[in-house]
Structure 1
Amino acid sequence: MQATRTSPHTESPVAPPPPLSLQTRMVLLSYFAYFFYYFTRKHLSVATGSLVNEGFSLETIGYVNSAYAVCYAIGQFLSGALGDRSGPRIALCAGMCLSGISTLAFGLFPFVAVLAIGFTANGLFQATGWPNTCKLITSWVSDARRGRVMGFWLSCYIIGSMAATAFSGYLLKEYGWKEIFLVNGVVVTVIGIIQGLFLINRPEDRGYTFETSVAAAETAAEKKHGFLVMLKNPSVLFLGLSYFGLKYTRYTLFAWLPFYLEKVVGLTKDAPAHVSNGFEAGGVLGLILGGYFADRFFPRNRCRLALLALVGMIVAVYIYRFASSGLDIAGNVAGLAAIGFFLYIADSIISGTAAQDLGGTGSTASACGIINGIGSLGQILAGIVPVKLSQWYGWNSVFISFIVFGVISCLAVFPVARRKRLIEA
């Protein structure tokens, strides 16, 4: 039996750590929360080709994507600060339900104004996801086990993205583009309600703790000023700038890859949706291997691996831009998988584990929100810049922009990667 610990200051008993079964439940709930966020995030990219065929302007869809990204960026800062202060349960429940309703609205009322208002507001609702799920993980998993748990947990946004694309592709093929919005909207709303019913903000809410009472008090003080502290941290800002370039590439591929594969490569029906999943499939492999190599060779500063992965991504994009139009389906899947392999290694470190290391238990949501918020400025550009580049100079220029933004990401992460330790002892 575990001995009861006491604080040297209060001499009162300290609560035991939460049982493994409860920790596992919270990890899985947060995993499936962010997994299903993608069902009302990836749906528009799959439906874009059909919407254009129905008479919706490609430029209008591009502006809608950019407006969504503006709200998403603003929401990251707000969600990060509020998540550290009030807890993630209500934010996740409300965010998912509102995201589902805004998606459902366009399926019921398929007008340009409804798309513009609903999908733009969806950016705010989607922004509740990342900072608050990361906050849950840091609250419910001890420091000693967090690296291994995150290796599993971070797959949620890759597998969720793949599942969302495949599911929307299936709905498009079997039923039509309206059902993409109707069904995904209902699914995400239901999952949001489940989160509100069963999530627990932190172990202390059920009488458990990982810390002594003294450490808990220190965390509370950090939590009070966490957002401002993180906002002044140079490493957080550098990682945010690096994520800016990375997110431009990632969200351009999210928004326009199925359309590119249909119009430029020449794939038909549901093939663009399924082939585009090669990007995320490579990301799953990169996440698994990247997590192993990060712990094995870069335990003190995983940003060094992120820098190497960014260089690999640039090389993969350079090769794919010349070959994509002449490749068969398997070749396109392989090329996109190579890009995803390197991109997601860097992505998971910069926005996930490095942000958690810098934020600590009390300021994780703030650190994640700031890095993701700055990064989302690149997501704003991904809405309309690729459209303009493709119209003016062709799709080859879009891939050149990936290389340019990749170089920006490398330069930004370099000062952080140079540090011997990401967190000073």
Structure 2
Amino acid sequence: MTKAISNELKKWRVQIFALTWLAYFGMYFCRKNFSVVMPIMSRDLHTSKEEFAFVITIYSITYMLGQFLNGYLSDRKGPRLIVGIGLLISVISNLLMGWMGTIGSFVFLMGLNGFGQSSGWSGLIKNLTPWFRKKERGVMMSFWTTSYVIGGMAATAFATYWLSNQNILSELSWRRVFLAPAILLLVISLVYIAFIRNNPVDVGMEPFERDTNTKKGKRKEKEAQLAVLKNGAVWIAAAMYFFVKFTRYAFLFWLPLYLSEALKYSDERAGYTSIAYEAFGFLGILAAGFASDYLYKTRRFPISSIMLFGLAFVLFLQPHLSPLGIVPTIFSIGLIGFFTYGPDSLMSGAAAMDMGKNHGAALAAGLINGVGSAGQLLSPFAVAFVSDQYGWDALFRLFVIVALIAALLLILKWNYGKENQDEIEVNQGNFQDLAMSAKIQ
């Protein structure tokens, strides 16, 4: 029987949704800025692709290890503390990158930034889980995960503006691309820390699942975390995410350089054109969330697999479309974003919440994102090596293979969650409640 949601709880759900969305949105301002300055840094500092790859790899190592640690800590200590610390670490590292501005300092500071950024996904998934029921999560997460798509677009545009604008602190040149986002994220960090709460119990309300903060709850938490580790679907999702993140982070960091080097775009045009990746990705997230809830009755694996097959097809076409001009290039890059972000958000978000449930959501999200970050770790060296030795078109052929492997992995758990379909009933009242949260965007 569906428990009614009080007006007070609805207000808190809107607030939690908004603050967690804003926090992850803000993190991208201190993540995407590096890719925007790579073309000009390669000229000003004579930085090679291999050096860029090393910096990105250090970031990826600390991000990967931080996913495991911060996922565990968010379950144990609460996301408000862990995410709050992570946000401030990212702010500090970007401020220092803006002042130091040498490739040697970037190795350490990007590593520090990676650790701070790693607190975000698993911690914020943990933050959301107690406030929303399973049957709401697909749609809710389809709106919430627009945070990193809209964040990616806004961060790229923001960084490109500071890179190209010569009227404000022009003497700092590309260093402004680190300083301005850090100041913005600092404001967001303070707002998050001040107004977020971990779960309904913290505001004197009854949780959807009772036993939080009791001995029984602690025991159930340990049992839930053990169940996550034994859940084969979690590891299938994690393996799939290895390949998805391999591709997504290649585009996240290298797309402006590809457009500049292979297609001879100016730095400004490359920066703005790359926004198409996230813009279409926004639509992919919404499509995946709605399809999983309404067409597949909260089954996350089928639609993700289908979209990954679509990704492989578009990646195959992209080298043939880019010579036709900027419009086909924007369209193909956009479709790549559409078919990447859909399964990316669904499997690392709603699926992780489903598999981890209330007490193991952060661990499930941390495991999936952590294993995915191993793909992120290999990505920069693969991009640098293949593009240097065989050309950019060969890199897209590699991405085709990677996407097909990810799609085939998800077929292994095609019917996962089918046993719960009889329990799923998404009523109009719940949808309106979620729609209210969506308006925050």
TM-score interval w.r.t. the shorter chain? over 0.9
User: How much does 1:142 deviate?
Assistant: 3.4
Matched, 1:197 2:188: no
Distance 1:420 1:113 in 2: 48
Match of 1:254 in 2: 252
- Give the structure 1 partner of residue 108 of structure 2: 117
Tell me the equivalent position of 1:36.
Answer: 26
Query: Equivalent residue for 1:276?
Result: 274
SS of match in other structure, 1:265: coil
Encode CA deviations 1:319-348: one digit per residue, 9 max, x unaligned: 012222x13222211111111111111111
Query: 1:415 aligned to 2:412?
Result: yes
Structure 1 residue 225: Cα displacement: 4.0
1:26-425 mapped onto 2 (5 Å cutoff): 26-54=16-44, 55-175=46-166, 176-211=173-208, 213=210, 219-324=217-322, 326-419=323-416, 421=418
Bigger mean CA offset, 132-141 vs 285-294 = 285-294
**Residues 343, 212 of structure 1: CA spacing in aligned structure 2 closer, same or farther, 3 A cutoff?**
closer
Q: Which residue of 2 aligns with 1:12?
A: none
Residues 24 and 120 of structure 2 are in contact (CA less than 8 Å); yes or no, is this contact kept in structure 1? yes
Structure 1 residue 66 displacement after superposition: 1.0
Task: Return the letter of the residue paired with 1:351.
Answer: S
SS across alignment from 1:166: helix
Question: In 2, are the aligned partners of 1:72 and 1:376 still within 8 Å (CA)?
Answer: yes
For residues 213 and 237 of structure 1, the distance between their equivalents in structure 2, rounded to whole angstroms, comes to 28
More moved, 136-145 vs 154-163: 136-145
Corresponding residue of 2:12: 22
Following TM superposition, by how much is the alpha carbon of 1:411 offset from its aligned partner in structure 2, in angstroms?
Answer: 2.5
Partner amino acid, structure 1, of 2:67: Q
Report deviation, 1:209: 1.9
**Distance in structure 2 (CA, Å) of the matches to 1:352 and 1:127:** 15
Quote the offset at 1:291 in angstroms: 2.1
Per-residue deviation, 1:423:
5.9
Could you say if the C-alpha distance between residues 388 and 205 of structure 1 is closer, same or farther in structure 2, counting changes exceeding 3 Å?
same
- Structure 1 residue 226, shift from structure 2 partner: 3.7
Quote the offset at 1:420 in angstroms: 5.8
User: Shift of the alpha carbon at 1:143?
Assistant: 3.6
SS at match of 2:126: helix
Give the letter for the 1:295 counterpart.
Answer: D
* Letter of the structure 2 residue corresponding to residue 170 of structure 1: Y
Paired residue secondary structure (1:157): helix
- The alpha-carbon deviation at position 100 of structure 1 amounts to 1.1
Structure 2: give runs of 5+ residues left out of the alignment.
Answer: 167-172, 424-441
Once the two structures are superposed, residues 124-166 of structure 1 have per-residue CA deviations (whole angstroms, 9 ceiling, x without a partner) of: 1110000011111112223453333222111111111111111
Q: Which residue of 2 aligns with 1:11?
A: none
Question: SS at the partner of 2:249?
Answer: helix
Hey, what's the Cα distance between the residues in 1 that align with 2:143 and 2:89? 28
Q: Deviations over 1:87-127 (max 9, x none)?
A: 10011111111101101111101122211100012111110
Aligned-partner residue type, residue 397 of structure 1 = A
Q: Deviations over 1:343-366 (max 9, x none)?
A: 111111111111111010111100
Conserved? CA contact 2:256–2:267, under 8 Å? no
Deviation at 1:212, TM superposition (A): 6.1
Partners of 2:80 and 2:409 in 1: how far apart?
Answer: 33
Question: How far did residue 222 of structure 1 move?
Answer: 2.9
1:413 is aligned with what amino acid? L
TM-score, normalised relative to structure 2: 0.89
Q: Which amino acid aligns with 1:236?
A: V
SS at match of 1:127: helix
1: distance between equivalents of 2:369 and 2:419? 18
Normalised by the length of structure 1, the TM-score is 0.92
Change (3 A) 1:392 1:423: farther
> Following the alignment from structure 1 to structure 2, what is the Cα–Cα distance between the partners of residues 404 and 331?
23
Q: Root-mean-square deviation (CA), in Å?
A: 2.1
Aligned to 2:427: none
Q: Report which stretch shifted further, 183-192 or 200-209.
A: 183-192
- The one-character-per-residue Cα deviations of 1:370-414 (angstroms, maximum 9, x if unpaired) are 000001111001122100111111111211111121122122222
> Does the 8 Å CA contact 1:33/1:192 hold for their aligned counterparts?
yes
